[in-house]
Structure 1
């Protein structure tokens, strides 16, 4: 085999290996590219996917926050179009309020329109000021 054929073969194999690596990295991050789903996206894309871990983002609906007899926090996350019921047990962030933005991570149960949350991330707006300056 001539030297230029060997060299072309090595370059081709190298490019194929690099391309395969890039493809695997992009495939691994495909589902994690979006920070969260809105309630409308969750209803349309994950209608029948039960017990799938999802990140749901939206506003906590006013008047929806309550506790049940087992001390679970129940509330509704909305994007002003669709609503998702959320059930949560655990630490509640100090920024968690009705009418404010929230990202909830948990298991989606489509037939009950319920997200069993394992984590709540409350978000502040772009005009955040520390409490000592407010």
Structure 2
């Protein structure tokens, strides 16, 4: 009788371990398309991602690069002070989007142009996404909002 209980306990533990591994694999598979990695313009230029990879890019909108045509096709350059990446976006930009300000875009890098599906801008005078600040600090070009 003791041997049967021990065998049953081992079977239950084995089934639970298999169920846990299977559920972890299914969750990972379901989330793989929802995970977007952040890259700075320098990282995109140095190691271009594949055309099928969706990722986030962030930096400052380069002065004088913003162009909008009649069909809501918007092009501009994003920079981290070290490299520049051309961005193309179709749609309506956030109200606070402007040249010289921080932005984060989600999309794909196709034929040397970042094709954005979403553009986010700062929300007030001092806000800039953490990823953008980190990338700018890494390049040595970040200045605090008060200029210090």
Superposition TM-score tier, normalisation by shorter sequence:
0.7 to 0.9
**Cα contact 1:104–1:121 (8 A) shared by 2:** yes
Using the TM superposition, give the Cα deviation of residue 25 of structure 1 relative to its aligned residue in structure 2, in angstroms. Answer: 2.6
Distance in 2 of aligned mates of 1:118 and 1:33: 15
Q: Output the TM-score relative to the length of structure 2.
A: 0.67
Query: Is 1:12 aligned to 2:20, yes or no?
Result: no
Q: Which residue of 2 aligns with 1:64?
A: 65
1:14-35 C-alpha deviation (Å, 9 max, x unpaired): 0232133224434554675556
Structure 2 unaligned regions, length at least 5: 128-148
TM-score (normalised: structure 1):
0.72
- Backbone CA RMSD of aligned residues: 2.8
Give the deviation of 1:123 after TM superposition.
2.0
Whether the 8 Å contact between 1:101 and 1:124 is mirrored in structure 2 is no
- How many residue pairs match? The answer is 125
Give the whole-Å Cα distance in 1 for the aligned partners of 2:109 and 2:4.
60
Q: How far 1:114 sits from its partner (Å)?
A: 0.4
Q: Structure 1 regions of 5+ residues with no counterpart?
A: 129-134
| In structure 2, C-alpha distance between the alignment counterparts of 1:13 and 1:126, rounded to whole Å | 56
Give runs of aligned pairs for residues 11-50 of structure 1, distance below 5 A.
Answer: 11-26=13-28, 28-29=30-31, 32-33=34-35, 36-45=38-47, 47=48, 49-50=50-51
